[in-house]
Amino acid sequence: MSTQMSAPDTTETTANPSENTPSDPKMTEYYQLQRNLYLVMLGLTVVIFASVWVAYSLPTALNYLLGSCAGLLYFRRLARDIEGMGNGGFQLGGARLGIFIAVMIIATQIKTLSILPVFLGFLTYKAAIIVYVIQTTLFQE
């Protein structure tokens, strides 16, 4: 009497949205929203950076750009945490808060940086959300 053992299933699924297409339409909609917000944020950053450079100076515009990059990192972590909640996990935002604290400490300790442009650059992700909401509510197809 022989018993056959089957090999365990070693198929792995990836959690990275760029590697596979989600079958859940809500997650597809979420990834599309996330991509649209990134594009709005990038567009706002370019326009505001150029405007600040023309209106004030290059160092002030670079301070804004530093804050905007930190805001982009913050938004990316926020998106990952929200995606984790959709998959059944829950995390507190300690890493997100750390990004904000780190950029503010850097802005206060380095003499060539100005706190206000860095802070306003950090808030670009919030402006992107507001612009996206206005865009989708007023200009629906």
Q: What's the chain's average pLDDT?
A: 81
Using alpha carbons, select from 74, 101, 77 the residue that is nearest to residue 91: 77
Give the pLDDT of residue 26: 78
Q: What angle do CA 122, 124, 126 make, to 5 degrees?
A: 105
User: DSSP state, 56?
Assistant: T
Average pLDDT per consecutive 10 residues, the chain (141 residues; last block may be shorter): 48 45 74 91 95 95 94 90 71 75 89 91 92 88 65
Look up the pTM and report it: 0.74
Tell me the chain's radius of gyration from C-alpha atoms. 21
Give the pLDDT of residue 84: 77
Residues near 86 by Cβ (< 8 Å), separated by ≥ 6? 26, 27, 30
Cβ-contact 83, 140 below 8 angstroms: no
Give the pLDDT of residue 111: 87
Distance CA 71, CA 100 (A): 8
